[in-house]
Structure 1
């Protein structure tokens, strides 16, 4: 990913998240272990080392953890968010008052390990569908309070972002359809309500519902829990509905976009992508991502 395309984090949001985490960790009396065992004159140098291969994400939050504890701490980035790293590689170097380094260590590592884990796991899914026209995308299934930074990590891993919340796009799901009285009724009501900049997606669980949706033309149709055979048929229906040849289908921006979801795993995503769908959404890249093993190795002087 080129530097100009890297996702960005708001410094204000980073500071708010890290400040909240530090407040939780330090509690009412601060780091009593460090206060009791380390003198205020002690200085330390530490390296944040990756113990396995992966994709780095979360360095701005790690840096903020040390800076908010003590502005005298110097945080030197040896890698950049989005970099692929190998076991034993140093991601950053931290120097300054030993008390501050030790007190910020856990919060810094928590953010860095979790977000690097999300980026690394996303990369595995993205690599599994390399060469197809499909993109893997995240969902709203994120840890409370961490959605923006988890979605940031997804992009660093080569995935794309779905909506960030209930307010930035319309996604009509099965329960909305049941209450509204049908697919077409729900889409028409949403169209009448939404502003002209709001995208509209509808979830369908069968090809008949898909055809009904196409008749009132949402921006995106979410094909829920359909196997590869049904997905291929859905792509063919969409292509014929728009009067497109197979060679023009993938590059025509005016057609309805198709998203697949359900039963998306590392061993199934390739078959889903090869059906011709545009996006494959999965909560696994955020909710099931293992942390990347990163340690802070310290020397006191």
Structure 2
């Protein structure tokens, strides 16, 4: 996984690029009608229900736009919220508040939706040992935000990108000439490159599971689109030799059953690619 410093760098880049995109050479709507020395105060109002996320990121945005803005919070990331709740107040330069408004709302609405869906999946798994994972099926440019939101919702992060973990999927395996060749070449590559990266290998059936175990040296086997019975069979066969992950056909209706098969992890792209933004507003007070 990436370091905290790398993650912070990603967040800083997101803010800088988003402000560049939205503000350009100036917020001319505000510049045109609001005095530069005008002070203001606004509240973050919830018009929905779910798990709030992005409060800490909003603080980063406000600080980037104007370090003199003051934020008073009444909730914390990961808390349930309902219609009418006020999450925070922000006060200071009226122009600065308006400059930051859209980025704060866009980010928090998206992050809260992801945290809410993740929390639902975590609750559905219940007392089973399986941990909920995200994937790389994220919105280009804001992966760090979406993966942060998954953690706020109680899930865990899969690899961040292509560089922090080896994951041999169907196309890698087919292009490499099969599972045995793919794993062997990967081990050789890591040795030559002097990289210490965990290896995950995707299996499409029990025959491939057996080949992966025979090859050895694998951190986790991803059981892709296995049905419940075959998942149980694979988990029993693998035992303690490596970790297991279910992926594919993971929905609110199936996630509990996959968890009960005994896998260590369940990954779902839906956490980040199939959510509806939480309705939030920033209102002057």
Q: 1:16: which partner in 2?
A: 13
Q: 1:211: which partner in 2?
A: 210
Moved over 6 A (4+): none
Q: Is the 8 A contact 1:43 1:98 kept in 2?
A: yes
How far does residue 67 in structure 1 lie from its aligned partner after superposition? 2.6
1:138-164 deviation line (CA, Å, top 9, x unaligned): 111111121122111111111111111
Counterpart check, 1:264 vs 2:261: no
Q: 2:48: which partner in 1?
A: 52
Q: 2:114: which partner in 1?
A: 118
How far does residue 224 in structure 1 lie from its aligned partner after superposition? 0.7
TM-score normalised to structure 1 length: 0.86
* Partner secondary structure for residue 178 of structure 1: helix
Q: Is the 8 A contact 1:121 1:290 kept in 2?
A: no
Counterpart check, 1:294 vs 2:276: no
Q: 2:225: which partner in 1?
A: 225
Aligned equivalents of 1:71, 1:186: Cα separation in 2? 51
How far does residue 39 in structure 1 lie from its aligned partner after superposition? 2.5
Q: Is the 8 A contact 1:74 1:96 kept in 2?
A: yes
How far does residue 261 in structure 1 lie from its aligned partner after superposition? 0.7
Counterpart check, 1:66 vs 2:66: no
Aligned equivalents of 1:144, 1:216: Cα separation in 2? 35
Unaligned 5+ segments in structure 2 are: none
Q: Is the 8 A contact 2:11 2:144 kept in 1?
A: no
How far does residue 65 in structure 1 lie from its aligned partner after superposition? 2.5
With over 3 angstroms needed to count, the CA separation of the structure-2 counterparts of 1:227 and 1:264, relative to structure 1, is same
TM-score normalised to structure 2 length: 0.91
Greater shift, 67-76 or 290-299, is seen at 67-76
Aligned alpha-carbon RMSD (Å): 1.9
With over 3 angstroms needed to count, the CA separation of the structure-2 counterparts of 1:8 and 1:152, relative to structure 1, is farther
1:29-77 deviation line (CA, Å, top 9, x unaligned): x112222222334321111122222222222321233233333321222
Aligned equivalents of 2:202, 2:7: Cα separation in 1? 32
With over 3 angstroms needed to count, the CA separation of the structure-2 counterparts of 1:11 and 1:75, relative to structure 1, is farther
Greater shift, 166-175 or 15-24, is seen at 15-24
With over 3 angstroms needed to count, the CA separation of the structure-2 counterparts of 1:124 and 1:9, relative to structure 1, is farther
Q: Is the 8 A contact 1:9 1:149 kept in 2?
A: no
